[in-house]
Homo-oligomer: A and B are copies of this chain.
Amino acid sequence: MEIKATMDAMGQAARAAARQLAQATTATKNQALVAMASHIRASVEAILTANEIDVESARKRNQRDSFIDRLVLNPERIEAMAKGLEDIAELDDPVGATIAKWTQPNGLEFSRVRVPIGVIGIIYESRPNVTADAGALCMKSGNAAILRGGSDSINSSGAIVTCLQAGLAEAGLPKKAIQMVATTDRAAVGMMLTGLDGNIDLIVPRGGKSLVGRVQDEARVPVFAHLEGLCHVYVDKDADLDMARDIVVNAKMRRTGICGSAETVLIDKAAMENNLKPVIDALIEAGCTIRGGELVCAADSRVEAASEEDWSTEYLDAIISMKVVDGVDEAMDHIAKYGSQHTDSIVTENAETAERFLNEVDSAIVLHNASTQFADGGEFGFGAEIGIATGKMHARGPVGLEQLTSFKYQVRGNGQVRPK
């Protein structure tokens, strides 16, 4: 009951702060961001001390090294956090922009204008930098944020939120525009997912598949997320072989742990004799394990046999599945069946085939002759992003400042009443 009261109070305070923040000018919000960065820089010692407590405690619980690595802060990482806040100050403010404007014959003037969404709940794992990043993106887009980070980073996040709130106060904005859930009790997450009595409008989960899956299952408010990135590269018979090789290797191996990395390569049967072996060679040379269908296994003894499960596995590792398909139609059928509507790419010199793929593949991002690793807000020119969404509603693809807004219709008249 005590947690419920605390969380409900947070929701109400967030709603009140959101109402104020929605009317804040761009200059005021940017002033707050710059002040936040100064406070972060002035608090390096305090943040490091808090972080040491978290790291110590994670070590005692024998957490994996990769986990500790994500948790650890150092002066460089703290400076990057401060710089990130200043970068967000440089981005265009979407709030108040007129998206569309028209006049009806009766003289009513309609404007569709961007407004903040309201209160955004961010649920994330133990990367303390998400605290600064997500809090600042929500604030710049005029939204109040309720942050619930991993319990392992609670001291680090607390020290960072103190700096963010000091920045808000310095600009005359309500401190409660960015709040942190201070309890590690998981019941708090459940309460956020049901929307705190209508005081949370949107949940953004940032973390692995189990976190996102739980959020998507339990949330009763809209969620911007992707469960997984089962991204494909289809190498068409009309592909330029050198380009295909470069794109496949980059799509898989540039970084294997990100959602835009390719998990499956589909090779057109009609060019198999030319293309299959060189692509296999290039991947293996780059250090990638290949799990292949029958024809792929037959082509190279270093290929392991793929099981049915491989086609729907997001490896997030230096492993790729590979299959020979009968042209673009079978490739698109495969993607429709096994894909996650995230990001898929075709390599071909045939403009008609490319257009079919771009039009018919039902993914948030479809590429022609480019690597799937471009699935990133920065690469789109959106600046910072809070994640990538695969849902069909509202935000699809990279979620930047603009995607964190809604809109309203403003209608200006001079006494119009509606006829019968």
Contacts of A418 in B (CB 8 A): 250, 254, 371, 373-374, 376, 379
Contacts of A374 in B (CB 8 A): 108, 411, 416, 418
Check if A414 is an interface residue, CB within 8 A of chain B.
yes
Contacts of A384 in B (CB 8 A): none
- A383-413 contact mask (Cβ, 8 Å, vs B): 1 or 0: 0000000011110110000000011111111
Q: Is the CB of B393 within 8 A of A104?
A: no
Check if A365 is an interface residue, CB within 8 A of chain B.
yes
Q: Is the CB of B393 within 8 A of A406?
A: yes
Known: A360-B23, A408-B362. A416 touches B104 (CB 8 A): no
A 171-222 contacts with B by CB, 8 A:
201-202, 222
How far is it, in angstroms, between the C-alpha of A407 and the C-alpha of B359 when the chains are bound? 11
A 84-106 contacts with B by CB, 8 A:
96, 102, 104
| CB of A142 to closest CB in B, whole Å | 11
A 215-250 contacts with B by CB, 8 A:
222, 240, 243, 246-247, 249-250
- A325-367 contact mask (Cβ, 8 Å, vs B): 1 or 0: 0000000000010000000000000000010001110111111
Contacts of A23 in B (CB 8 A): 359-360
| CB of A371 to closest CB in B, whole Å | 5
Copies in the complex: 2
Contacts of A362 in B (CB 8 A): 19, 22, 115, 118, 408
Known: A254-B420, A415-B243. A117 touches B410 (CB 8 A): no
How far is it, in angstroms, between the C-alpha of A153 and the C-alpha of B143 when the chains are bound? 45
Q: Is the CB of B411 within 8 A of A406?
A: no
Q: Is the CB of B367 within 8 A of A247?
A: no
Check if A417 is an interface residue, CB within 8 A of chain B.
yes
Check if A368 is an interface residue, CB within 8 A of chain B.
yes
Question: Which of B240, B250, B359, B397 contacts A417 (CB under 8 A)?
Answer: B250
Residue of B nearest to A357 (CB): B410
Q: Is the CB of B392 within 8 A of A118?
A: yes
| CB of A20 to closest CB in B, whole Å | 10
Residue of B nearest to A107 (CB): B370
Q: Is the CB of B409 within 8 A of A369?
A: no
Question: Which of B370, B406, B417 contacts A254 (CB under 8 A)?
Answer: B417
Check if A110 is an interface residue, CB within 8 A of chain B.
yes
Q: Is the CB of A394 within 8 A of B393?
A: yes
Known: A362-B22, A380-B110. A414 touches B369 (CB 8 A): yes
Known: A104-B381, A246-B417, A247-B417. A411 touches B366 (CB 8 A): yes
Known: A23-B359, A108-B374. A366 touches B417 (CB 8 A): no
- A268-309 contact mask (Cβ, 8 Å, vs B): 1 or 0: 000000000000000000000000000000000000000000
Residue of B nearest to A411 (CB): B367
How far is it, in angstroms, between the C-alpha of A415 and the C-alpha of B420 when the chains are bound? 60
Q: Chain B CB within 10 Å — which of A115, A366, A411, A413 has the most?
A: A411
Contacts of A367 in B (CB 8 A): 410-413
Question: Which of B363, B369, B373, B409 contacts A365 (CB under 8 A)?
Answer: B409
Known: A201-B392, A359-B23. A366 touches B408 (CB 8 A): yes
A-B contact pairs, 6 of them (CB 8 A): A247-B415, A359-B410, A367-B410, A373-B418, A380-B409, A396-B406
* Sample of 5 more A-B contacts, CB < 8 Å, known A254-B417, A376-B418: A19-B360, A251-B417, A358-B410, A365-B411, A370-B411
